[in-house]
Structure 1
Amino acid sequence: MRLTGRGVAVLLASIAAYVLGELGGYAVFRALAGIGLGALIAATLLTVRQPHVSVRRGLTPDRVERGRPALATLRVRNTGARWQPAFSAHDSAGDERQLVRIRRIAPAGEATYRYELPTARRGRIQVGPLTLERTDPLGLAVNRLPTGETATLWVHPKRHPTRTVVAGRPRHHHIGRTADDSLRGSADLRDVRPYVVGDEVRHLHWKATARTGQLMVRDFVDPDQPRLTVLLDTRAESLPEAPFEEAAEVAASILFAASMAGHRCRLLTSAGADLAAPGGALASRQFLDELCIAQRTDDRAGLLPASLTTGPSSGGAIVVVTGVRGTASDLAPLLVRYSSVTVLGLGPVHGIAPILGARVILASDAAEALKQWSGVIE
């Protein structure tokens, strides 16, 4: 418990009035000092008792597209044997604070409150901890008690309708060995490797198992299933803050559509992030989570991370989401490593020169870029 700014002012004024009353012999000042000190004592007695409650908070949903509603549900239960007086609760969500006024609760009673969380900006937002607050009617004293666990709200980039690439095929293993994250499950044998939990028993290679003394399975690659790689340019010099948000939306829309179509996808950034996952709902969420925390960097590193220019060729299609200024030399290493190369340049000034062997799309925002992308992909 502590005095508020108003309470401190009343305390100082009461002391000054008492001193003035004693020195000047004014009874009225001594009376005012007594009233002020009495109000402070009463405020202290009203707020010294902390709320005896248990608090649970849930987020619905805990992952949301930017601009879509997200709700926090607060359940407050009186754990005491007496009525719990009314108090306030302050919940934080990033830089914003939400005030919830809790009414009186009967013994063993429970009250539920719902309030919206901020989703206007992309990012990973920490919600909580909750602060319980009791104050007197005059606002002279306050008692604050942090309680409850923190939660995480993932605000994903906004997604736009788009088609997904269907012609991005990885290289056949007779042409060149695919990358280590290749798909498994077809009849195209790639290698024999140690068994890991989750592998299908029917793929066990008994001769290799007998020879090595450990379970070995056949590692298959599907050369006909589309593969898509998306490279997001995170260099601050290439994409200012507003165009970078548009670029994140483009990457999110393309990866979400491809993942939900069951395609193997990979996301890389100039800053070094590298995530590959098979198709499906879980994979799409992993990509959206990664794009949720992607930030611009001020370093002078190049556009292409080393993993794209070294090691085995990945094949398939690659989409480079960058600013509207660039040169062909930046992307030349990709032309011999991927069957399809598309450059999506975002920004108000169109300055990417035509690149032989690559498709170049220039747009001012994400919606325009994806509209053009949907019209030209195979």
Structure 2
Amino acid sequence: MNKGFGIWILMALTAGFLGAFYGWRGGTSLLFLLLLILLVALQGAAAQWLGPRQVHVVRSYHPRHPRAGEPVEVTVRVSLDGGSPPLWIRADDEWRHSGEGAEPPGEELPGGKLVFGGWRKEWTGTYDLKPVKRGVYRAEGMRITWGDSFGWFKRTFRADADDVLIVHPAPLTALSGGPGLFDPDAEGAGSGRAPELPSGSDLGRLRSYAPGDPLRHVHWKSSAKKGALLTRVPEEPVTPSRCLLLDTSPEAYPAGGGGADADGFELAVSAAAAWLERELARSDEVDFRQGDAAAREGRVAWKSLSGRHGLKEGLDQLAGAALVSSLSGPDLLQRAWPLARSRSMTFITGSLTAELTEAALLLTERGAALEIWCADLRDRDPEAARHAARLREKGLRLIDLSRYRGGLPGLAEGGASHVIA
């Protein structure tokens, strides 16, 4: 709590000087000034010492689950308990990035400033956070200041808060201006259909031969046993349940001058958000895991997501996704094999390497239905082009996300507008 002792020292020096000068020279003008100073000090003391004793702050947000690049409207309700209501109050909100997501840890996000007037104990106001980046932001508290009518004598309370603002990544499909990410006719894009696993039976269903049936569909062995021609009716391909694996190792997103390509990783996260929205809109359940959690647990532990609640849970995880030293892409694929045997897997990474290509081919040879989304396929790189050609020859679907780089929001530093209510 700050009571502003500096103004009292200044006021005491001023009153002492005027009192001494009045005692020496006298005069009605000096007496008037001395009484005026004492009156100002009296109303300042009343504003400071007779004001509220407790402060309560409640925040709400719109939209409730914002996406990266969207402005956020923050509604603040301030309640004061005890004492007399102040003439005015000022509320200064503060936010700090928690270190999860796109922003550096501990970076401040400028909050809003609200000024309220009137003899009341409850105020409600709104301010707008400018478009912010993906991440998890925590409220640092709110400074509530009130004072006298001149604004000289102030008192400040700090209202602690544990509010958390989670900014989801913007799905890539909503940001791209060209053909959709899942448009099979778009150049460089992959089909939106899930890879199909082979049927559980090579025989399919048998029925009696009918004129016009192709001879290649006749099952001769069963026909010989029964003594009549039987035709094999192939079963429809089985569309398996889906799973998503996001590579979060810095080595998977190399930058031209060394280090990690942060923009490439944001592209991968946005693509993962698009994948979750698409699959949960048409499937009852999907499995999701990102590499950093897999590294901490020493294995690829999958999280099952379903419905709107599952979508929010998945986007919450993506909001906090960050490039951390974790399992490499090839290791992630190898450890994901137990689930890939019965799932159709989408693997999102930053670049193709020889090790990743070998791991993907091994899973494909074992019968896994795998597709790879790459933030920078770099077909202009001869080595990467050879890796891509090998994978495509084996029927593995590749999607180059780099064509959507222009769709990511170019965000300036976040901030807030200030409101006087």
* TM-score, normalised relative to structure 1: 0.66
CA distance in 2, matches of 1:141, 1:51: 16
Summarize the Cα distance change of 1:54–1:45 in structure 2 as closer, same or farther, 3 Å threshold: same
Which deviations, in whole Å up to 9, do the C-alpha atoms of 1:81-106 show, x marking residues without a partner? 85542211122233222111122244
Query: Does 2:329 align with 1:303?
Result: yes
Alignment match, 1:253:
274
Q: Secondary structure at the match of 1:50?
A: coil
Query: Does 2:145 align with 1:125?
Result: no
RMSD of aligned alpha carbons:
4.3
Query: Does 2:336 align with 1:335?
Result: no
Summarize the Cα distance change of 1:307–1:34 in structure 2 as closer, same or farther, 3 Å threshold: farther
CA distance in 2, matches of 1:79, 1:9: 25
Structure index of larger Rg:
2
Summarize the Cα distance change of 1:61–1:293 in structure 2 as closer, same or farther, 3 Å threshold: same
Query: For residues 207-286 of structure 1, what are the structure 2 equivalents within 5 Å?
Result: 224-237=238-251, 238=253, 239-262=260-283, 264-273=285-294, 274-286=301-313
Q: Please tell me the residue identity of whatever aligns with 2:88.
A: A
Does the CA-based 8 Å contact 2:340-2:369 persist in structure 1? no
Query: For residues 71-110 of structure 1, what are the structure 2 equivalents within 5 Å?
Result: 71-77=73-79, 83-94=85-96, 95-106=109-120, 110=122
Does the CA-based 8 Å contact 2:305-2:314 persist in structure 1? no
Which deviations, in whole Å up to 9, do the C-alpha atoms of 1:208-255 show, x marking residues without a partner? xxxxxxxxxxxxxxx944433323222234242222212211111112
CA distance in 2, matches of 1:93, 1:365: 34
What is the Cα deviation at residue 140 of structure 1?
Answer: 4.4
Summarize the Cα distance change of 1:313–1:149 in structure 2 as closer, same or farther, 3 Å threshold: closer
What is the Cα deviation at residue 57 of structure 1?
Answer: 2.4
CA distance in 2, matches of 1:16, 1:105: 30
Query: For residues 171-210 of structure 1, what are the structure 2 equivalents within 5 Å?
Result: none
Q: Secondary structure at the match of 1:271?
A: helix
Q: 1:314 aligns with which of 295, 316, 340?
A: 340
Q: Please tell me the residue identity of whatever aligns with 2:267.
A: E
Summarize the Cα distance change of 1:119–1:336 in structure 2 as closer, same or farther, 3 Å threshold: same
What is the Cα deviation at residue 66 of structure 1?
Answer: 1.1
* TM-score, normalised relative to structure 2: 0.60
Alignment match, 1:360:
398
Q: Which sections of structure 1, spanning at least 5 residues, go unmatched?
A: 176-222, 371-378
What is the Cα deviation at residue 340 of structure 1?
Answer: 2.6
CA distance in 2, matches of 1:80, 1:74: 20
Q: Please tell me the residue identity of whatever aligns with 2:359.
A: P
Does the CA-based 8 Å contact 2:92-2:111 persist in structure 1? yes
Aligned residues: 315
Summarize the Cα distance change of 1:134–1:340 in structure 2 as closer, same or farther, 3 Å threshold: same
Does the CA-based 8 Å contact 2:76-2:125 persist in structure 1? yes
Identical pairs, percent: 20
Alignment match, 2:47:
46
Query: Does 2:288 align with 1:288?
Result: no
Q: 1:167 aligns with which of 194, 205, 222?
A: 194
Alignment match, 2:170:
158
Does the CA-based 8 Å contact 1:52-1:84 persist in structure 2? no
CA distance in 2, matches of 1:81, 1:13: 24
Does the CA-based 8 Å contact 1:132-1:145 persist in structure 2? yes
Which deviations, in whole Å up to 9, do the C-alpha atoms of 1:311-335 show, x marking residues without a partner? 62423333332224x3132242333
